[in-house]
Each structure stands twice: as C-alpha cells, then as structure tokens.
Structure 1
C-alpha cells in the first residue's frame, strides 16, 4: 500500500443524487433503482466529486446485500449484478477522469455499509442488531466482499467499512480482515457523542477492536459536526500512542433526518464554508496521514471548500 496523504474523500452520494437530479431516494435500496435506470447519473456524481478536488470516489454500494435485495423482491442474479455494477461504475468514472486528466491519481473506495444499513430501520444510528452474533456479521460481510471484489475487469484501491455503530460489528470486521486477503482497509464509526459510538461503546474501546495491522486507517463518519473536534482528538491520541494507523474523518453536513416527514431537516445544516474550515483544520492539526471528506448532506462544494481553506 502506498497512498499519497492527505487523501480527500468525496461527500454524500444519495443526497447529491437527490440534489442534482431531483430523485426521490428516501426508499429502501435506492441504489438498485439508480443502477438499473440511470447509471449515467451515478457516474456524473462520481465525476463531480473528482472535479471538486476529491482524490477518492466511494462506490454507491452502502446498502447493498443479497439479503436486502431479496427482501425487496430481486433475484440472487439481479442482486449480484447490481452490486457488481456499483463497483464498475465508480471504476469507470475514475478511469475516464484519468484519461482526460493524466497523472491525476484518482482512487476508488469500496463502500461497505454496516449491517444496520441493510436493515433500513435506523439501526445504523443505534447499533441495535437484536440477536445477531459476531459470526453472523462475519458471514454477512464476507458474502458481500466476495461479490464486490469479483466484479469483472475492475479494481478498487481501498475498502471502507463505514458508519459502523456497533462494537459487535467492529469485532466482526477485525475477524474478516484477519481471515481474508483484501485491498487496504479503513474503518469509520458512527458516533452519538464526543466519546461514544452509536451503541454507547467508548470510542477508545471501539478503536481497540480494530487495532490491526491489516487496517490502515480508523476514525469517524456520518457523525454530527459538533462532535468532530472532540472525537478527532481522541482518535489521534489513540493512534499516536497505540497504532500506526491513519485518521479518517467525514462527518455529515449537520442536517437531521425527519423519519415522520421522510425528509431532511435543514435547520441545523452547517454552511459549506464552515464545514470546509473545520475539515481543513483537521488536516492541519492531525495531518498528513489523514483521509477527510463529507457524508450525508454534503456535496462537491463542501469538498471544494476543504481545499480552499
């Protein structure tokens, strides 16, 4: 593995598709609909982030799994096709951009969303997985990896297990990466406060679960901006004392999802300039071994703002 740090990640994918194309993506498995009906829109969003200055495009595979597609009425073959196409589209966008901009060194990260994302019941923000065991989660992630990484004629540059809300799932991921030969792996936790991940586990304990030589970066994502400074100080301190890992951080844009109205509440949205200043300061304070970007509610202008500050 040889990355040129710092790395600039992209921003929110579904929310940018909504903004750019007016799509209603509030339903379950929105990615399948877009992959099937409008793959050019997916490539457009990837290119938009590259043009804004992102180094890394993240595949639109966050919710994708055989289980989720089956529950939505798709066959196994259809599910595999959708999952592999999500990877192929990002890789195509990368390759096309590099053809037009030689030596731009763009990358693709495979998005491995948490088990809670597949449940589509809010568990990604609570870590409440019921009676699921570590081995259940190991099988869940291995199955998905086998499909994503066998996508014909494509190659991802890294894997990000993202929006991880559960200590149990952190243990499962550590087992998966230990047992499986994979591209470089990063893990990002969803946090409910300045010192706890979503299920109430301390951030330090969660980091300890994925303190592995097979994992090159750990940190936080899809977390409210007001917690970011405190969380990053904890993560950086842990890395300095215990690991050689890089720091990864890509919070959301501050908006909250209104489950009743089925829409985003923008009253708490952080302005693009303020977001860019916050993440640029992260690079100054904790760099150069950092990966920074945005999650839900952020777009290309947020990423551009990071580079302008």
Structure 2
C-alpha cells in the first residue's frame, strides 16, 4: 500500500502541535497539547510516545503513514539521533528520541531542529530558489536561526550550527538559558520583550506593546535595533540570496517592520550585500512548524525508501 502521509510534530516551549501532511504538502488533522501536561511527568519521552499513539489511532491508523518527523527546540548531534540539550523542556537532554519513538510506534522517525522545519515551510510556501543561500531568522521566545546553502541545511561539524541567538554581546552580563553569559538572545527575544514590559510598562498587554507604545518608548526603539544586529551579522557573513524573517514577535500587532528593516540595512555592509538584499516574511500560522516537519519528512523518508529499494 502506498504511504500517503507523514506525521509532522512541532515540540515547542509551551505547546506540542502535530498534523498529517500529504505528498502535496497539504496539512490536515491538526492537534495541539500543552507541554505542561506532557513534560511535568517523570517520563517525558513516554508521554510524547503516548500522545503520538493516540493521535495515530484517532485519525489515520498506521497503514498509510510513511513516518514521523519531529522538530525540537534543541541542539542535536550531527547524525540527528541524539538530543544534546533542550534548556526549556525537562527530560529532553542527552536522549535518542527518534530511535525511541521509532521502536515504540513501529514507524520510521526523523529528528531535526524545529527552526529548520520553519525554514523548509517558508521556502516551499514562498517558492524560493534554494540553489544559493537562504537564511531564516525567527524571533519567538528565543532567537531561532536556520541556514540553507545550495539546497542543504547548514548543521556544522558537531550538528550545532546556526545558534545565532547565542553570539556574545560585549558589555552584556545577563545569563542565558543556555548557561552562558551575554548571549544576544538575552537582549533580543520575546523573553526579553516580556521582561522589558514588566520593568517599564507593568500591567500593559503584550499584544499592545508596539501598537500603543512604539515609537514613544525608547526601550522599544532600542529593542528593535538589538533585534536587527544578529540578522545583519549573519547577512554580512553569508551574503544570502534571501532573508526570511518571522516568529511570534514579528507577528505582534503594530510591529514596526519598516523600522526593523531600516535598522538591518543600517548595520549591513554597503554597497553589497545591502544593495541587493532581498527580505521576505514568514506567515504567522501556528502550524508552520508542523507543515515544515512534514515537508522535510517526505523528502528524507522518500529518499531513504528509494535507497533501500536499490
């Protein structure tokens, strides 16, 4: 029987989202669970397996599922078998999650950084040419980054490349969730924006931060400039064909997209790459990571199946 679906899974800091993605990359049968109900247990991996078992039972059964593709907010080993570190989720450090899920569910399972799946979704949605270099910067709770060069994800010697949120900033002594001090994510992320709200505008709604208080509040103007610095840094390094910008912070009502772009361009070298800089934007669909997981899963699992048949 032809396998028509990949189960895409997006494990985030607060929610786990999943859905079925077909061979045309259409997403259906979405479901969401809160991490607090899964990761508050002693057996985090067992909880993940149980959620997936229930999902498959309720929606499709195993007969037409090609496999499972799981995105995690973690650093991974180069072979993509071991989760090295997941600062915001207990129970997901130094564990071979993909192999465990595969054994428990009897389905081929792929593991990858969640932000790489966002990149795959945006490239497919925007129909971008991947023969050159595409970078994605996603500002949510943290500062996520993914890079594709000539059609391949950049993962590095150890598998931990593209941790753009963890480049150090001189004079910044704040401790990061990664354990280091001075990471740019501590001054340029959704988490930092929440801290700024609490310090300067206690009681203000997060969803109204830009809508009601920008550009009047100087700390918000500074925040936008800080956000632009890691983006401009990576542009200066890679001279990319496309820059994809997205994430929950950029999707907030009233986010000053024009000022953000101007700040990026101010920090990028002239005349190149600034003159030919092409910036595009991610959609704000909460299931982008799930669809991206399915897209990536189809590509990898079909290639694996073809190789096994040869």
Regarding TM over 0.5, the answer is no
Question: Which has the larger strand fraction?
Answer: 2
Larger Rg computed on CA atoms:
2
- TM-score, scaled relative to structure 1: 0.31
- TM-score, scaled relative to structure 2: 0.31
